[in-house]
Structure 1
């Protein structure tokens, strides 16, 4: 039910974008400032250095619905488009038991929290209304960890730093409104434990987490 409500909320937000654009002055496609709503599929899994190769049935992955918002500014020179972008997203992915097998994904009992991204993209307008692009940058993700020893429950976050690359296609529906579809891969190589309460944060440690996402977006240019 939670996933259904999130989908409906995201769909309603995206459906309102064309209505908002009616009051925006026309701009050239693929240029200027833009904001967008995002929704898609998100899967995180243990990387090659911590994957459970002994038990082939344990893929150690978690997946779920991704949703969030993004913004950016595109500079256009002829058919070449480039500019900075940023976003914040969340995901419903969390660990689970499947047929008695715990899908621990290398970190224990976790669920995804917010994911921040700052980067840039470079694209080429293959037609007046179609842009293909590649992207890359820095990503910081949090994973909520739930541990219990006896009757004592410890809540903490893993604050993970990494990099992201991706590629996609953007279609101008009008001069102001656009839709896009992209694939992104992220790898988190460093992390630290952020404890709740008065506990100090832990030292940074090495990670190897892979994240794959397929994301659709609808946005408005100003």
Structure 2
């Protein structure tokens, strides 16, 4: 019996050993890995750049009513704009973020026009209303398309300081004349807009944003006894960077995303959409008859871009490359109409706008993460401006020639891969074109033009496989 027990015990022990060995050979299913995802509940500060453009209408009338002394419809001006902002966000659900913000904007807008001459018998000189600086306080609410990409809308209250009218009209040799030099105007209104923000890391993010600022109906009474009314709105387009403080909401987690293998070295093609703003300066003369000078009387438009280029990743964190691109744009037929008392008619003109442009250049960038590049660019551009048709007081009608203008382009942006071959980028470019003085049309015997073009684009890019 004792011998039987020993044999059975030994057999049982052997069976347990074999079972344990077999179990050790079986694959063990690991628990799903969770990767930390930065919670959006944070305070932040930041800065941005882009362009602003104004649109609206103005009217100057005597106190107590009567025929208008001067009116302007289609007022537009555009130029470089800068912003500084601060705010806070609260992630109220896995996919939703709400927050508040305050920002301050500066603009270089300044639009001036001079029309006159001895042969024409009258002169009109005007510095038009334009954005100087202002602030907005408001809130935003957004949806997390991914843990790091926030798509949001915003609304708020704005107060803007407007450079007001400086106007002089005179009939040479005697006749109706007036001078208006209004002090700077503080306008109040509302802001609505939308944007996208991408978190590079827990404490840094990049954003692109559009805001419309409605400044409503503003009235001032001139010391000379005239009432000036202006309806003005501002369009503000920016790309910017923000520094986000700490992790106030506690860490969030999400299932780890598949690792990307971004192809920074190689050929790429892309297409995008965005906006342009042109700030031209134009001088024209018909000797003995009429002289015309304007600065900043430009417009803004919706534009598209097609690009091709080659990048090479060097030294681990750096990318350099060359590119060529074509921009196309439309200004929607924007025009301006001015009427002055005693002028015997009106001045009407299309606004300067870009028809299409090309740029060749290079870029250099730093990889803040394996799939995100922040870069600067430079190049040389040729921009074709649309022909401008004008009518001066019903006496002179003509169309300016369509010409190509050349100049240097500088800018910057950021780009992020969403798959191994597809990336998205946001980019700002500024092109300063040289002045051409070899222009003529059917009326002006001397005509010159030049200026600055601001371009903002969001694009999708496909990176071709490397042979």
Following superposition of structure 1 onto structure 2, how do residues 159-170 of structure 1 map, counting pairs within 5 Å? Answer: 159-170=404-415
SS in 2 for 1:157: coil
d(CA) in 2 for partners of 1:180, 1:167? 10
Give the greater-gyration-radius structure (CA).
2
Question: Which residue in 1 is equivalent to 2:310?
Answer: 73
Question: Which residue in 1 is equivalent to 2:423?
Answer: 178
What do the CA deviations read for 1:149-196 (whole angstroms, capped 9, x no partner)?
88986563121011100010001111100000011111001437689x
- Tell me how many residue pairs correspond in the alignment: 183
Which of 46, 49, 64 is the matching residue for 2:280?
46
Following superposition of structure 1 onto structure 2, how do residues 100-179 of structure 1 map, counting pairs within 5 Å? Answer: 110-147=352-389, 156-179=401-424
Whether the 8 Å CA contact 1:109–1:145 is kept in 2: the answer is: no
Offset of 1:146 from its aligned partner? 3.8
Question: Which residue in 1 is equivalent to 2:335?
Answer: 96
d(CA) in 1 for partners of 2:424, 2:299? 27
Q: Which runs of 5+ in 1 are unaligned?
A: 1-25, 53-58, 196-201
Q: Which runs of 5+ in 2 are unaligned?
A: 1-259, 284-292, 340-345
d(CA) in 1 for partners of 2:417, 2:430? 25
What do the CA deviations read for 1:92-129 (whole angstroms, capped 9, x no partner)?
1255126769796xxx7544211010000000111011
Please say which of residues 72-81 and 27-36 is displaced more in the overlay.
27-36
Question: Which residue in 1 is equivalent to 2:77?
Answer: none
Whether the 8 Å CA contact 1:44–1:210 is kept in 2: the answer is: yes
Which of 83, 89, 97 is the matching residue for 2:321?
83
Following superposition of structure 1 onto structure 2, how do residues 6-17 of structure 1 map, counting pairs within 5 Å? Answer: none
Whichever structure has more strand as a proportion of its residues is: 2
Question: Which residue in 1 is equivalent to 2:455?
Answer: 213
Please provide the CA RMSD for this pair: 3.6
Whether the 8 Å CA contact 1:190–1:206 is kept in 2: the answer is: yes
d(CA) in 2 for partners of 1:126, 1:219? 19
TM-score, normalised by the number of residues in structure 2: 0.35
